[in-house]
Amino acid sequence: MTTIDETTDQTTEPQAAPAIDMDALMQFVGSFVGDLGATMGAGNVLLGERLGLYRGLAVGPTDARGLATRTGTDPRYVDEWLRGQAAGGYVQHDAASATYSMTPEQAFALTDPSGPIFLPGAFELALGALKAMPEIEHAFRTGSGYGWHQHDEDVFNGCERFFRPGYLMHLLTEWIPALDGVPAKLERGGRVADLGCGHGASTLLMAEAFPASTFVGSDYHQGSIEAARERAAVAAIGDRVRFDVAGAQALEEHDLDLVTTFDCLHDMGDPLGAAQHIRRALAPDGTWMIVEPAAGDTVAENLNPVGRVFYGFSTFLCVPSAVSQPGGYALGAQAGQAAIRQVVTDAGFTRFRKVAETPFNHVYEARP
């Protein structure tokens, strides 16, 4: 039977279904199974962290009943959880003794929220972001935005717990030392603004390391700033640190020695306007340190596991946040060095270079 193609008014023959390569199909299904297990695994990782199951298991090998006793939980639930964790490679299973344990590396990454690597925070961020599925679906259909402040509380907590370990490991030992002349300024007593500071993890790390300097952290999300102020009070450095509820373009400081933006420039609806405002706020010899997700300049360069993570987060968090703001310009979490350079140079900065990188972040220095 022939059909009429209404767009060209030509008679066409029906297309035969493409042949299916069963080996390729099963390989794709295998990838799907891994993703499905990881999706459900995210919730199980958070259960393990929140119920103290990882910390309890890190004490030493035990079975489900022993771990349940250590953690005040139900052994039948713990038994099922342990089996899934062993299947996913998050804990070890000894069939001969029917016990479970953790390697030093597993315990290191799963039990210490203040350590340089802490994986459960990333799952908290991911699950929090997914709670906005109906709103993001609506955004896809309409082109509307969805503000950062509109997300579930787990997004704000998880974001800090996802990024803070990297800051803890690299900020003071690698990133700031890589900035031309900045460490000496901060040791003598510099003026610093940390824009988009969230709960203030980056601000407080710098303030504790450079007691002669003063810091102002800002974020447009009220709840995050309230949390940052509480943490500053606990750290007893409130006289040198101030936290303001304000967007990047509301920065009122001037003659700053250092402005920092940690993993937030790509979330802004008007990154060029923010960059121009930062340039005006800097002293003539000041520095802007830009920390952004690790990314190449082309899509092809980002087709890897890290790129997949950031594209996924960007779809639910970064692009909707940028679109929701005045300007409506969405860099996305995989903007790459060329896109960041363009924003910086268009804003009037004359010097730009990448000074450091990790598997998850690239660090840039911009000078007036």
Pick the CATH number of 40-111 from 3.40.50.150, 1.10.287.610, 1.10.10.10, 2.40.37.10: 1.10.10.10
What is the rounded CA–CA span in Å between residue 152 and residue 258?
32
User: Would you give per-residue pLDDT tens digits along the chain (368 residues)?
Assistant: 444 444 445 556 667 778 898 999 899 998 998 889 889 999 999 999 999 999 999 999 999 999 999 999 999 999 999 999 999 999 999 999 999 999 999 999 999 988 888 999 999 999 999 999 999 999 999 999 999 999 999 999 999 998 898 899 999 999 999 999 999 999 999 999 999 999 999 999 999 999 999 999 999 999 999 999 999 999 888 789 999 999 888 888 899 999 999 999 999 999 999 999 999 999 999 999 999 999 999 999 999 999 999 999 999 999 999 999 998 789 999 999 999 999 999 999 999 999 999 999 999 999 99
Give pTM, 2 decimals: 0.89
Q: What is the DSSP string of 175-227?
A: IGGGSTTHHHHHHH--EEEEET-TTSHHHHHHHHH-TTSEEEEEES-HHHHHH
Superfamily of 125-367 according to CATH: Vaccinia Virus protein VP39 (3.40.50.150)
Domain ranges of the chain: 40-111, 125-367
